[in-house]
Amino acid sequence: MHALPDLRTGNPHYDHPVIGEGAFKEPKVASNSPYPIGATKPPGSNYTKCLIVPRLKTEDASWIDNELGDLLDTGELTKAIYVADDRSAALHPPANKGHEVVVYLSYIIDSYDALADVNLFMHFHRFAWHNNELLDTDAAAMVRHLSPERVVRDGYMNLRCHWDPGCPAWLHPGALERDPEKMEEVLVAEAWAELFPLDPIPGVLAQACCAQFAVSRERIRELPRQRRERYRAELRVWREKAGLIELAREGSKDGRVAEEAALDVPMIGRNTWLEARLGELDEEMERLKREAFRKGRDPRQRALEAGRAWSEGDGF
C-alpha cells in the first residue's frame, strides 16, 4: 500500500494500512501568518467562550438552549443572539444588511472591552450542509468538540474542517480586465483601497467555506474598535452596490432551460448492491469517527498533527 498524499501539498503526511493509523510526520499546512502564536493557559484551565449567532424574527435558534444548555448553565459558554430585523430586540445590528457579516462586526464593536477568550461566529440553524459532515452537520457538536487551546494558539480557526468546496481562488481584485461574471471584483478593489490605503490590492482573495469561525480575544484586538466601526459603515455601501449588480445579473437571464439529455436505463439490482455497500461504508465511517475523537483527546497527537513541538505534560 502507498502512503496517502496530502492533496494540498502533494506530500504524504501519514502511513496506513488502515486509514487514520500512524502519526503525522510533518505539518499539513505551512503557516506564514504575520501574527504571533497565542499564549495558552496552563493545562486543565478553563476558557470563556461566547457563541455569536444572527437570526431573523421568523428563524428558530432554540437548539442552542436545548442542546448546549448544560454549558450555558455552568458558564462555560455564553451566547449573543442578534435579531437582524427587530430593532426592539436586546441585541440587533444598526440595520438588517450584509447578512451575518454586519452582526459579526456589531458583536465585536459592542463587546470589544468584554470579549470572551474564544468567540464562535455561527449561523442560526443547527443542521446545514456547510457544517462539518463528520460531525453529522450538527452545529451543537461543532461547539462541543472545538478545542479552545487551538483557537487561542492560532488566533483564528474556520469551523468547517472539510475540503469541499475547499478554498477556491474565486476573486481577483487586482485583475486588469473586468469580468462580467464577477463584477464584485471591482467593488472589492475599491473597498480595499479605502480600507487599506497603504497595502497593495491583492491579486487573489480566497477563504474557506462557509462564514463560520472562531477567533481569540487577542486576535480580535489586533485591530482597534474604531476601525471595525469603519468596516461596518463601508460594508453597508458595498452591499448596496453589490445588490444592484445582482439585480442586473438576474435581469440578463432568459429563463430558458436546455433540453434534457437521453436517460440511461439503470442496471437491474444495482440499487440493492449500492445500498449494502453504503451501509458498510457508514459503519466504517462511524468507526473512524470514534477513533478520530479518541486521538483528538490526546494532546500529543494534536501536536503531531499540527506539526508542533510537544513535551510530556503539555495539555494542548
Q: 140-195: per-residue pLDDT in tens?
A: 999 999 999 999 999 999 998 777 777 888 889 888 788 888 888 888 888 888 87
3 pLDDT band, cuts 50/70/90, is: very low
pLDDT digits (tens, 9 = 90+) for 46-101: 999 999 999 999 999 999 999 999 999 999 999 999 999 999 999 999 988 878 98
Q: What pLDDT does 253 receive? A: 54
pLDDT digits (tens, 9 = 90+) for 192-223: 888 788 888 988 888 888 899 999 999 999 88
Q: What pLDDT does 249 receive? A: 60
Percent of the chain topping pLDDT 70:
75
d(CA 56, CA 124): 9
Q: What pLDDT does 220 receive? A: 94
Q: What pLDDT does 267 receive? A: 57
d(CA 67, CA 122): 15
- The residue behind cell 440578463 is 252
3-state secondary structure of 286: helix
pLDDT digits (tens, 9 = 90+) for 107-128: 999 999 999 999 999 999 999 9
Q: Which three cell numbers stand for residue 86?
A: 427587530
Instruction: Give the CA radius of gyration of the chain.
Output: 23
Q: What pLDDT does 310 receive? A: 80
Percent of the chain topping pLDDT 90:
36
Residue type, 53: V
189, 173 Cβ separation under 8 angstroms: yes
d(CA 110, CA 94): 11
d(CA 67, CA 272): 36
d(CA 274, CA 271): 5
